[in-house]
Amino acid sequence: MTLIAAGTMVLEDRVCKPGWLATAAGRIIDCAPGPAPRPPDHDFPDHVVVPGFVDMHVHGGGGASYTDGVSSEIEQAAEFHLRHGTTTTVASLVTGSPDDLLRQVRVLTEVTRQKTVAGVHLEGPWLSAVRCGAHDSTLMRNPDPAEIDALLDAADGTIRMVTLAPELPGSLDAITRIADAGVVVAVGHTDASYDDAKRAIQSGATVGTHVFNAMRPLHHRDPGPALALLEDPRITLELIADGVHLHPALVRQIIEAAGPRRVALITDAMAAAGLPDGSFRIGAVEVEVTERVARVRGRPTIAGSTATMDQLFRTVVGQLGGSDEALANAVRMTATTPASALKLDHVGSLRAGRDANCVVLDNNLGVHTVMRDGSWLPRR
C-alpha cells in the first residue's frame, strides 16, 4: 500500500486541507480529509493533488496525431498529454474516407486495448459541410447504416463517442442506432435548427460538441442548436476554454447557467500542442499555427487548439475567482464531468475504488508530477 498526503487535496467534490489517499494494485483503496493516519510514503505539504484529467475530445499533441492511424504517433501524443496531467484520453478522429476511417479505428482499437488511450471519438464524417471547421468538407456524407455498423464492428466496443449533425438525412435513426450500441452521441459541426437539435436529444444525443464552435450561431429569432443544448439538463456541454474559441465572459456565463456538473472542458488539441508555431495537418487539412492559434491554411477558421488540460485548469480556476470553490469546480469540469459523460465510472475523481490517477500541482497550479494507475510518471 502507498500512502499519499498533501496540503490540499480534492477528494470527490471536497477541497481538503490537508487530505490523504492510499493506493494498492493501481486503485485508490482509501482516502479522507485531515492528516494522514501514518507517515506518508509521498508527502506534498505545499502542493495541490487533484484527479487525473479526462480529455474527451483531442486530436493529438507533441508533434503527433491520432488521426494518422500510426501506433507510434498515437503513443507519442498520449504521452505528451499525460505529462500535462491527462491520465484518460479519448482519441478523436476527423472526417475521412470510409477505408481510412476503418483503418484508423482498427489501429486505435488495438491501442485502446493496450490502455494507451481510453477509446475512440468519431468526429465525423456525418457532419455539416456548412459548419465543417477544419474537416475536409468533400468527404462529409450522410449517415449510412452499413458504414455505422462496419465502424462499430471494427471498434469492438472501443468507440466511446460519435459527433454528428442531426439535420442530415438519416441522422435521427443513426443517433438511435449508435446510442443503442452503448456509444455516446454528440451534436456538433451542425447547421441544425433549434427543433432539429431538440429532436436529436429526444433520439438519444447527450453531448454538445465544443458548444458555439462549428454550429449555427445563436439568434433571437433563430436560436439554433446551442440554446437547445444549453437548456436541456441531460446534455453535457463541451467547452474549449482557451481564450481563443470562446470569450471568457461566455465561458463564465455557461458555467454559471448550466453548472459544472454539465460542463466538460476539452482541449480539442492537435499535433501543434507543445510545439512552436509552424505548419501542421489535421487529417488532410493543412493548418498554420501563429502565436499559438491554429487556423486552416489560407482561411480564418480555427483548427483545433494548442492547449493542454493543465492550461485549461489554471485558466478556469482564475476565471472563477481562484477560491476553493473554483478549484473544486475546475476539478469537476476537467475530470468528473467528462468521465461521467462517457460512462467511465473508474476514473474522474479521487475516491475509494477508482483508478489511482492523480496530478500533483504546485502553488501556481503547474504540473509537478503525475500518477497513472498507481505508478508515478518518471520525472524529466
**Is residue 364 very low, low, confident or very high in pLDDT (cuts 50, 70, 90)?**
very high
* pLDDT tens digits, one per residue of 4-33: 999 999 999 899 999 999 999 999 999 999
* pLDDT tens digits, one per residue of 75-89: 999 999 999 999 999
Q: Which residues are part of a known binding site for substrate? A: 134, 213-214, 221, 245, 302-304
What does the pLDDT average to over 225-233?
A: 98
What does the pLDDT average to over 44-54?
A: 98
What does the pLDDT average to over 166-187?
A: 98
Residue 302 pLDDT greater than 80, yes or no:
yes
Burial class for 153, CB neighbours closer than 10 Å (0-12, 13-18, 19+): exposed
**Is residue 284 very low, low, confident or very high in pLDDT (cuts 50, 70, 90)?**
confident
**313 close to 125: Cβ distance less than 8 angstroms:** no
The pLDDT > 90 percentage for the chain reads 96
Residue 318 pLDDT greater than 70, yes or no:
yes
Q: Which residues are part of a known binding site for Zn(2+)? A: 123, 189, 210
The residues near 231 (Cβ < 8 Å, ≥ 6 apart) are none
Tell me how far CA of residue 249 lies from CA of 117, 139, 245, 305, 331, in angstroms. Answer: 33, 35, 12, 19, 20
Active site residue 373: no
pLDDT of residue 283: 86
- Grid coordinates standing for 13? 467534490
Residue-wise DSSP of 283-322: TTEEEEEETTEEEETTS--B-SB---HHHHHHHHHHHTTS
Domains present along the chain, CATH in parentheses:
2-50+349-376 (2.30.40.10), 53-328 (3.20.20.140)
Nearest to 134 by CA among 60, 195, 233: 60
Residue 378 pLDDT greater than 90, yes or no:
no
Task: Output the furthest CA–CA distance in the chain (Å, rounded).
Answer: 63
Q: Quick one: three-class SS letters along 112-175?
A: HHCCCCCCEEEECCCCCHHHCCCCCHHHCCCCCHHHHHHHHHHHCCCEEEEEECCCCCCHHHHH
Tell me how far CA of residue 25 lies from CA of 28, 29, 81, 370, 374, in angstroms. Answer: 9, 9, 23, 17, 7
Report the SS3 class of residue 198: helix
**214 close to 240: Cβ distance less than 8 angstroms:** no
Burial class for 345, CB neighbours closer than 10 Å (0-12, 13-18, 19+): exposed
Residue 379 pLDDT greater than 80, yes or no:
no
The pLDDT > 70 percentage for the chain reads 100
From the list 196, 268, 310, 355, the catalytic residue is 268
Give Cα 367 distance to the centre of its chain: 18
Angle made by CA atoms 333, 336, 338, in degrees to the nearest 5? 70
pLDDT of residue 345: 95
Residue 341 pLDDT greater than 90, yes or no:
yes
Q: Which residues are part of a known binding site? A: 123, 134, 189, 210, 213-214, 221, 245, 302-304
**Is residue 380 very low, low, confident or very high in pLDDT (cuts 50, 70, 90)?**
low
pLDDT of residue 123: 98
For residues 20 and 286, give the distance between their C-alpha atoms in angstroms, rounded to a whole number.
Answer: 47
The whole-model pTM stands at 0.97
